[in-house]
A and B are shown apart, each in its own frame.
Chain A
Amino acid sequence: MTVRLRVNGIDRELDVDPETPLLWALRDALGLTGTKYGCGEALCGACTVHLDGEVVRSCVTPVRRAAGKQVTTIEGLSPDGSHPLQRAWVELGVPQCGFCQAGQIMSAAALLAKKPKPTDAEIDRSLSGNLCRCGTYLRIRAAVKKAAGEP
């Protein structure tokens, strides 16, 4: 079956089982490997993407649910890595291994789109679904604030 969706601004037609999780459609069928597999059960957030601007865990989102919708992945967050979050992430040296960071940034980007000046509690809530085994949490918090222009 063919599923039509728009990924990072480009129309795509995918010939996959419509129950395939969006994660594997992105990674295996489209070669967009910036979105990561970490648990497959919506427990870690490594696979976070935006579906019409909303955060979804692509590992548990069947690709059919993305039909006719806009999918944004880390590759499409900004044309050149210049999103304020991406800049703040590099400036504060947030990543350690880096594997969780695409998911962290995508969760944070959805938050900032809605709440340009989030409180600490809002940052905690929005990012509590994103695990970081390397323990970069404090820099993540600081980088979200920096990107939001908060002290």
Chain B
Amino acid sequence: MSESLRVVRRSFLVGLGIAVGGLALGSFARAEEPGGPGAKGTAGDGLRPNVFVHVAPDGLVTIVCARSEMGQGVRSTLPALIADELGADMARVKIVQADGDKAYGDQNTDGSRSVRMDFARLRRTGAAARMMLVTAAARRWKVPAATLTARDHAVFHDATKRSLGFGELANDAAKVPVPAKEAITLRPLSELKTVGRELPLVDGADIVTGRAAFGADVRLPGMLTAVIARPPVVGGKVARHDPSKALAVKGVKRVVALPAPKPPFAFQPVGGLAVVAEDTWSAMRGRKLLEIAWEGGDNAGYDSPSYRAKLEAAVRAGGRVVRDLGDVDEALAGAKRTVEAVYHAPNLVHAPMEPPVAVAKADARSCEVWASTQNPQSARAAVAKALGLDEGAVTVHVTLLGGGFGRKSKPDYVVEAALLAREMGAPVRVQWTREDDIRHDYYHSVSAQRLVAGLDGAGKIVAWQHRTAFPPIASIFDGATYAAPGQLAQGVLDVPLSIPNVRAENCEARAHTRIGWLRSVANIYHAFAVQSFLDELAHARRMDPADHLLEVFGPPRTWSPADLGVAELPNYGQPLDEYPIDTARHRRVLERVTSLSGWRGRAAAKRALGLAVHRSFLAYVAVVVAVVKDAAGKIRVDEAWIVADCGLVVNLERVRSQLEGAVVFGLSHALYGEITMKGGATEQSNFRDFRLMRLHEAPRRIHVEVVESDAPPSGVGEPGVPPVAPALTNALFALTGTRVRELPVVRTLAV
């Protein structure tokens, strides 16, 4: 190994080394490029045990990243894990981004699933390659395979101090049968150098120099740019239009009508008129000059204030029982005292920093797409369907994503590019403007919840009733008005409550806009209501909120569906015996966060603290937020602590950065975030009226602790978010005595 490679290797292990640029990182070339994994192998071109790994005879190892990178660090984490299992030296590993293809298994990068779903699966891809290389070496040396080890890009026979590089073995290894899944032996965890470490940021150097290629940066020869005027109301249509002024703009080529979608809207584009031009600015100017009369359609009566009243009426009236333990009615009737609260949270927009964008090239028989997408397989399917092609005729390349948060797993914008590329007979880039992004999102649901608790004569909680109403995600697929169990298992069905009588109900709510999943999804409003209400109860019962939470979670134990009062518990798609609901873990993160934040001594400080704990995506997260009031009476967030138990952690550095980001994301929405509708159209349009937290509003410090855990890996990208809003509003109550039951906070207090 040359000295420079040693240096790179060392810095890789030490952590955030700037030296990682080097030989081989960060390619976005196509997976099927000659020599890459997934290509059809020819004799003599090295080892291809599966679609993820290729070992070339010159020693270059190519590893595929099949998930989309949007800041959570999958490109820095998953290939390193495969390389680690293989025993490869990252300085001689090239990372290639996968196209959308079922051959890679699930590629949908949402639901905080990459590590929790792929940990064992990806390790097996590297382990298979390792075993084949070891077998090849064993044959060559005529020694038992068990006497060999693979490390540092070579196979070693330590007894005789011999070694053979992976490259030297690659062609022989290709002749060894690929081991069956059951026959693959993984390295013991203690041998993995990537687990629990701080891994370098693969794309860091490209990002800070402007070289990183996002969706908007793809350039094809002869490419045109389209900016689309979409119906302001979902389900609306163009009634009349006059394109003449738009067409008069220099650079504008055509104005193209897009088909109006039919409900259910799913991933179809919403229709409208596309202004296609030689460059972005001409397309934008052309769109401004389009004269369009819109037809509103069925949703034109949608106004946020009256819809809110409807949701609140629904939670007062009651709904379908989804969780039931004991007899809540009887317990409430017999209670000495009841406490009741109604909570409201608004629609939110994803607003990734890079608005949706896609580039497509299409002819009658095929289509090739470059997209900033979280789900290239669903983009592929949607494009194929829209163009009447087989999926095999559609290629979807994945770029870096300038943020996703769930928005970019819906491929409507990719389909727009494909339709326009075919229509124009030229490559087309569809650029969403920020206004498009804010006005035509798949919004996070608006919601109302009513919580009622009954206390007995001794002040003990004897009854808990939780009603929730929100237009469900399934509404975009089948018009559903009740939530699927998966959404209710985000903070309604799955909350451990040591209370004898518990009932939860889901109330009907019809969607009048496109509803989508936003980072942590229904957990956002459910954790807000439940963790606020528990804080209210603590005050009503004159208990410290931390002690109160410990009492409600109860003793350390695992909870079965029967203990929760549900028949079944969707558990983010994973089995309860592997990923139980375990109050020992709730308690542990709570105890760590209170000790780190000085919770018990907080009365002495001039600032107020608030606490919340929530399990989501199989991770347990506790947050404390400290708020202060300045001389002008304006409130600001001073400091925050976040403690997470995410089970086994691979890339500790990206876990920490995700948790830091989650605090800011959660605070930003809780303080300022709100989308409202009038006449079915979104009232906000840009960062002027959809306010985001800025640097000077961010806490002075965010303390992150990831507790050591040998539980299987949980999700990470989302679970930091849900406890943030209630920790904030609980702190605001402690500071001001005002209980914020509607988000965003800025509606109630000056922040």
Residues of B contacting A135 in the complex (Cβ-Cβ under 8 angstroms):
660-665, 668, 693, 698
Is the beta-carbon distance between B686 and A100 smaller than 8 angstroms?
Answer: no
Bound Cα distance from A37 to B437, whole angstroms: 13
Is the beta-carbon distance between A138 and B402 smaller than 8 angstroms?
Answer: no
Residues of B contacting A27 in the complex (Cβ-Cβ under 8 angstroms):
280
Given contacts A34-B211, A97-B400, A135-B660, contact A91 B18 (CB under 8 A): yes
The size bracket of the interface on A is 35 or more
Bound Cα distance from A135 to B670, whole angstroms: 14
Residues of A contacting B284 in the complex (Cβ-Cβ under 8 angstroms):
40
Taking the complex as formed, is B696 at the interface, i.e. its CB lies under 8 A from any CB of chain A?
A: yes
Is the beta-carbon distance between A33 and B210 smaller than 8 angstroms?
Answer: yes
Bound Cα distance from A130 to B694, whole angstroms: 7
Cβ < 8 Å to B, chain A residues 12-29: 17, 20-21, 24, 27-29
Interface string of A77-118 (1 = CB under 8 A from B): 110010001110111110111111110010000000000000
Given contacts A135-B665, A136-B661, A137-B664, contact A93 B204 (CB under 8 A): yes
Is the beta-carbon distance between B403 and A101 smaller than 8 angstroms?
Answer: no
Is the beta-carbon distance between B353 and A100 smaller than 8 angstroms?
Answer: yes
Residues of A contacting B213 in the complex (Cβ-Cβ under 8 angstroms):
33
Is the beta-carbon distance between B701 and A138 smaller than 8 angstroms?
Answer: yes
Taking the complex as formed, is A7 at the interface, i.e. its CB lies under 8 A from any CB of chain B?
A: no
Residue of B nearest to A127 (CB): B695
- Of B44-52, B214-222, B417-425, B705-713, the one touching chain A: B214-222
Is the beta-carbon distance between A91 and B16 smaller than 8 angstroms?
Answer: yes
Cβ < 8 Å to A, chain B residues 626-673: 653-654, 657-658, 660-665, 668
Bound Cα distance from A97 to B401, whole angstroms: 7
Say which residue of A31, A90, A139 sits within 8 Å of B657 (CB atoms).
Answer: A139
Is the beta-carbon distance between B402 and A98 smaller than 8 angstroms?
Answer: yes
The minimal Cβ–Cβ distance linking B72 to chain A, given in whole angstroms, is 7
Residues of B contacting A102 in the complex (Cβ-Cβ under 8 angstroms):
207-208, 210
Taking the complex as formed, is B342 at the interface, i.e. its CB lies under 8 A from any CB of chain A?
A: no
Residues of A contacting B701 in the complex (Cβ-Cβ under 8 angstroms):
138
Is the beta-carbon distance between A75 and B210 smaller than 8 angstroms?
Answer: yes
Q: Considering residues B16, B284, B696, which has the most beta carbons from chain A within 10 angstroms of its beta carbon? A: B696
Residue of A nearest to B73 (CB): A96
Residue of B nearest to A135 (CB): B664
Is the beta-carbon distance between B16 and A90 smaller than 8 angstroms?
Answer: yes
The minimal Cβ–Cβ distance linking B200 to chain A, given in whole angstroms, is 8
Taking the complex as formed, is B352 at the interface, i.e. its CB lies under 8 A from any CB of chain A?
A: yes
Residues of A contacting B214 in the complex (Cβ-Cβ under 8 angstroms):
36, 98-99
Say which residue of B207, B662, B686 sits within 8 Å of A95 (CB atoms).
Answer: B207
Given contacts A36-B216, A87-B18, contact A97 B354 (CB under 8 A): yes
Q: Considering residues A21, A40, A124, A138, which has the most beta carbons from chain B within 10 angstroms of its beta carbon? A: A138
Bound Cα distance from A33 to B359, whole angstroms: 15
Residues of A contacting B70 in the complex (Cβ-Cβ under 8 angstroms):
96-97
Q: Considering residues B204, B353, B354, B662, which has the most beta carbons from chain A within 10 angstroms of its beta carbon? A: B353
The minimal Cβ–Cβ distance linking A116 to chain B, given in whole angstroms, is 20
Residue of B nearest to A123 (CB): B695
The minimal Cβ–Cβ distance linking A22 to chain B, given in whole angstroms, is 10
Is the beta-carbon distance between A21 and B281 smaller than 8 angstroms?
Answer: yes
Cβ < 8 Å to B, chain A residues 40-85: 40-41, 43-44, 46, 73-75, 77-78, 81, 85
Residues of B contacting A21 in the complex (Cβ-Cβ under 8 angstroms):
281
Q: Considering residues A78, A91, A127, A130, which has the most beta carbons from chain B within 10 angstroms of its beta carbon? A: A91
Bound Cα distance from A136 to B403, whole angstroms: 12
Bound Cα distance from A141 to B73, whole angstroms: 21
Bound Cα distance from A86 to B205, whole angstroms: 8
Is the beta-carbon distance between B695 and A137 smaller than 8 angstroms?
Answer: yes
Bound Cα distance from A99 to B217, whole angstroms: 11
Given contacts A41-B688, A131-B694, contact A17 B354 (CB under 8 A): no
Is the beta-carbon distance between B281 and A34 smaller than 8 angstroms?
Answer: no
Count of A-B contacts judged by CB separation below 8 Å: 194
Given contacts A99-B402, A100-B353, A135-B664, contact A24 B208 (CB under 8 A): no
Taking the complex as formed, is B203 at the interface, i.e. its CB lies under 8 A from any CB of chain A?
A: yes
Bound Cα distance from A90 to B211, whole angstroms: 14
Bound Cα distance from A39 to B691, whole angstroms: 13
Q: Considering residues A31, A43, A140, which has the most beta carbons from chain B within 10 angstroms of its beta carbon? A: A43
Is the beta-carbon distance between A93 and B209 smaller than 8 angstroms?
Answer: no
Bound Cα distance from A4 to B456, whole angstroms: 80
Taking the complex as formed, is B195 at the interface, i.e. its CB lies under 8 A from any CB of chain A?
A: no
Is the beta-carbon distance between A37 and B216 smaller than 8 angstroms?
Answer: yes
Interface string of B352-383 (1 = CB under 8 A from A): 11110000000000000000000000000000
Bound Cα distance from A141 to B71, whole angstroms: 18
Is the beta-carbon distance between A92 and B209 smaller than 8 angstroms?
Answer: no
Residue of B nearest to A81 (CB): B209
Is the beta-carbon distance between B209 and A86 smaller than 8 angstroms?
Answer: yes
The minimal Cβ–Cβ distance linking B337 to chain A, given in whole angstroms, is 41
Taking the complex as formed, is B80 at the interface, i.e. its CB lies under 8 A from any CB of chain A?
A: no
Taking the complex as formed, is B592 at the interface, i.e. its CB lies under 8 A from any CB of chain A?
A: no
Residues of A contacting B281 in the complex (Cβ-Cβ under 8 angstroms):
17, 20-21, 24, 28
Residues of B contacting A35 in the complex (Cβ-Cβ under 8 angstroms):
210
Is the beta-carbon distance between A141 and B353 smaller than 8 angstroms?
Answer: no
Bound Cα distance from A100 to B642, whole angstroms: 24
The minimal Cβ–Cβ distance linking B671 to chain A, given in whole angstroms, is 13
Taking the complex as formed, is B139 at the interface, i.e. its CB lies under 8 A from any CB of chain A?
A: no
Bound Cα distance from A135 to B698, whole angstroms: 9
The minimal Cβ–Cβ distance linking A18 to chain B, given in whole angstroms, is 12
Cβ < 8 Å to A, chain B residues 188-242: 198, 201, 203-205, 207-214, 216-217, 219, 225
Residues of A contacting B403 in the complex (Cβ-Cβ under 8 angstroms):
96-97, 99, 133-134
Residue of B nearest to A97 (CB): B71
Taking the complex as formed, is B141 at the interface, i.e. its CB lies under 8 A from any CB of chain A?
A: no
Say which residue of A34, A46, A74, A87 sits within 8 Å of B353 (CB atoms).
Answer: A46
Given contacts A92-B16, A99-B353, contact A34 B209 (CB under 8 A): yes
Q: Considering residues B208, B352, B402, which has the most beta carbons from chain A within 10 angstroms of its beta carbon? A: B208
Bound Cα distance from A117 to B321, whole angstroms: 61
Taking the complex as formed, is B687 at the interface, i.e. its CB lies under 8 A from any CB of chain A?
A: yes
The minimal Cβ–Cβ distance linking B206 to chain A, given in whole angstroms, is 8
7 further A-B pairs in the complex, CB-CB below 8 A; given A41-B687, A75-B211, A137-B694 = A81-B209, A95-B207, A98-B212, A102-B208, A124-B695, A137-B693, A137-B698
22 contacts across the A-B interface (CB closer than 8 A) = A28-B281, A35-B210, A36-B216, A41-B688, A75-B209, A81-B21, A86-B209, A89-B208, A90-B204, A91-B16, A93-B204, A96-B658, A97-B70, A97-B404, A98-B212, A105-B208, A132-B353, A133-B665, A133-B692, A138-B660, A138-B698, A138-B702
| Interface, chain B (partner A; CB < 8 A) | 16, 18, 21, 69-73, 198, 201, 203-205, 207-214, 216-217, 219, 225, 250, 279-281, 284, 351-355, 400-405, 431, 433-434, 653-654, 657-658, 660-665, 668, 686-688, 692-696, 698-699, 701-702
| Interface, chain A (partner B; CB < 8 A) | 17, 20-21, 24, 27-29, 31-41, 43-44, 46, 73-75, 77-78, 81, 85-87, 89-93, 95-102, 105, 123-125, 127-141
* CB-CB nearest 8 A-B residue pairs: A34-B210, A135-B664, A99-B402, A96-B71, A97-B71, A98-B207, A74-B210, A135-B661
